[in-house]
């Protein structure tokens, strides 16, 4: 899994410039060469900050490539959804009652802390 957070580190590595230690991404150069680093991310955090006329409320979540746990923190909505992309690639039916909720919530909390996202 790659992130737009990886772009700056990738450009810096290609340019031969030192990558600052406080950045959040990782250079994609090894992946471009066909080699996945041993400690490459297994999960991905995302945060959708804008609510507007497009009908998508503010939300954030975590995915492990198969499952996607989403939280809609709006005071009026305050909802969670869980999708299984293998069995439901169009994300049409939430399977929020699945037993892996606790694992994904723990990972979501870890990633929010890692990326220093305010509560």
Who's near 100: CB < 8 A, 6+ residues apart?
67, 82
Which DSSP letter does residue 83 get?
Answer: E
The alpha-carbon radius of gyration of the chain (Å, integer) is 16
Shared domain check, 80 and 31: no
Together in a domain, 52 and 31: no
Q: Is residue 68 domain-shared with residue 29, that is, in the same domain?
A: no
Question: Coil, strand or helix: which one is 61?
Answer: strand
pLDDT for res 26: 94
**Rounded to an integer, what distance in angstroms lies between the CA atom of residue 88 and that of residue 58?**
22
Q: Domain check: are 12 and 54 in the same one?
A: no
Give the chain's domain count.
Answer: 2
**Residue 48 and residue 28 share a domain:** no
**Distance, CA of 56 to CA of 54 (rounded, Å):** 6
**Can you give the residue range of the structural domain that contains 17?**
1-35
Q: What's the CA gap between 38 and 55, in Å, rounded?
A: 39
Can you tell me the distance from the alpha carbon of 54 to that of 73, in angstroms, rounded to the nearest whole number?
A: 18
Claim to verify: residue 19 and residue 68 sit in the same structural domain? no
Q: pLDDT digit of tens for each residue in the chain (119 aa)?
A: 899 999 999 999 999 999 999 999 999 999 999 999 999 999 999 999 887 777 788 899 999 999 999 999 987 777 899 999 999 999 999 998 777 888 899 999 999 999 999 86
State pTM to two decimals. Answer: 0.76
Examine residue 119 and state whether it is found in any structural domain, yes or no: no
């Amino acid at each position: 899994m790659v992130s737009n957070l990886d772009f700056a580190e990738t450009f810096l590595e290609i340019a031969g410039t030192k990558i600052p230690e406080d950045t959040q991404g990782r250079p994609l150069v090894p992946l471009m060469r066909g080699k996945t680093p041993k400690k490459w991310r297994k999960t991905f955090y995302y945060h959708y900050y804008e609510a507007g006329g497009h009908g998508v409320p503010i939300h954030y979540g975590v995915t492990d490539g198969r499952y996607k746990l989403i939280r809609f923190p709006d005071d009026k909505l305050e909802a969670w959804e869980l999708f299984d992309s293998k069995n439901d690639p169009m994300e049409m039916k939430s399977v929020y009652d699945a037993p892996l909720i606790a694992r994904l919530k723990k990972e979501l909390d870890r990633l929010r802390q890692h990326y220093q996202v305010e509560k």
